[in-house]
Amino acid sequence: MIAPTPFFSHRGTHIRILEEARALERMGHDIAIVTYHNGDDITQYITTKIDVRRIRRWLFWYKKTEAGADWQKVILNIFLIKKTIYMTRTFKPDIIHAHLHEGVLIGWLIQKIFFWKKIHMVSDFHGSLVGEMRSHGYLSIPPLGTIFRGLEKWINGMGDRAIVSGEENVQIIQQARADKQVDYVYDGVNVLEYHDAVNKNALRAKYHISADAFVVVYTGALIANKGIDYILETIPLVVKKMPDVHFVIGGYPDVWVRQYVKEHELQQFVTIISPLNYFSLAQINRLGDVGIDPKDATVLQASGKILQYMAAHVGIICADRPTNRKYLSADSAQFLPAINAHTLMDAIEKFYHDRAYVRSCADHARRDVDAFDWSVIGRKIDEVYHSVN
């Protein structure tokens, strides 16, 4: 696997890379992940034989682990090409599983360099390259947007087979590929992690949250393209009408979120958990009565946090997107045609005043979540491997 990112970081892209690898490992695959110099050592959290190989720490000052573009990644990816060449010679892979557009481009170069080996590549697109960059404030100069759109379309056509995590991205990738072969492999969840009995009152006491509070949870990256700004704008509206509502926000980077909460004097209504350890995610999500995913469809990403909420047995509020409808039946959540502070406020208020409705949605969601266990996802990817090898 090629992972042009600081693996492992406790956020969505990395969770998908890790859990795909773990599911495949359980099926008997030998896996090496080639990645940047920084990131957590996964063996401190789990027992695994997944071989994580890192580039040299030439850019020793580069410690960024949050999502987003950075010009220094160009240099890191050059080192990653060198490392991937070495691993191709020594590990001798049957399949290159390339994550993200940068990883797919690197994998394509490896196929060209080692053309006589006829190594097959599966391209794993997590979203839109241009959409992601724009959501982080890049490509504001028109010519750059045109250049990167062309680059993205070219990369979308690479690989012997393509898989995507978001349903909205299927047609876009198909249009760029001669074979039109695109597999929609949605995100998953470790359902067993949520099966342990938990005393919610004791859990809330641990985080100094009232047992009687109506708790709204968001866990994920604290960056604008995930929709966290909508939640922050919603909090003052909600607590003004319903002062016993408490918000739990888990993720990173947290500085600007803490600043917003302080400036608006919302400290008593908000608990911020940062950094958020992925391996504690089940515990944090089970603090809640309701889970919110305010991400819209613009970056064409899947929404793994919804699956976490489903397993946590909470009411769910999310955008009305095809990907979310894939996970959730009509009676499992509140689907919002538009995400903003007022629509979120109305949805929270509806759940707040109808606890039976919360329980009904949560029950339906938890009933459906077994179909999205990572073991199921692993079998889908294994089928893709066999189709090209």
Domain ranges of the chain: 12-188+373-388, 191-372
Q: Do domains 12-188+373-388 and 191-372 have the same CATH topology?
A: yes
Residue whose C-alpha is closest to residue 14's, from 218, 224, 254, 278: 278
Q: What angle do CA 263, 269, 270 make, to 5 degrees?
A: 75
Contacts of 160 (CB under 8 A, 6+ apart): 120, 121, 122, 388
Residue 135 phi, psi dihedral angles, 5° rounding: -65, -20
Per DSSP, 115 falls in state G
Q: What is the pTM of this model?
A: 0.86
Per DSSP, 279 falls in state G
Is residue 193 scored above 70 in pLDDT? yes
pLDDT for position 148: 79
Architecture of the CATH domain 12-188+373-388: 3-Layer(aba) Sandwich (3.40)
Q: Which tokens sit at 334?
A: 């509140």
pLDDT (tens digit, 9 = 90+) per residue, 83-118?
999 999 999 999 999 999 999 999 999 999 999 999
Q: In what order do the strands lie in the sheet with 334-336?
A: 270-273, 245-250, 214-219, 290-293, 315-319, 334-336
With beta carbons less than 8 A apart as the criterion, state whether 254 and 272 touch. yes
CATH fourth-level superfamily of 191-372: Glycogen Phosphorylase B; (3.40.50.2000)
Higher pLDDT, 11 or 86: 86
With beta carbons less than 8 A apart as the criterion, state whether 252 and 228 touch. no
Distance in angstroms (rounded) separating the CA atoms of residues 265 and 258: 10
Is residue 225 scored above 80 in pLDDT? no
Q: Which tokens sit at 199?
A: 């005393």
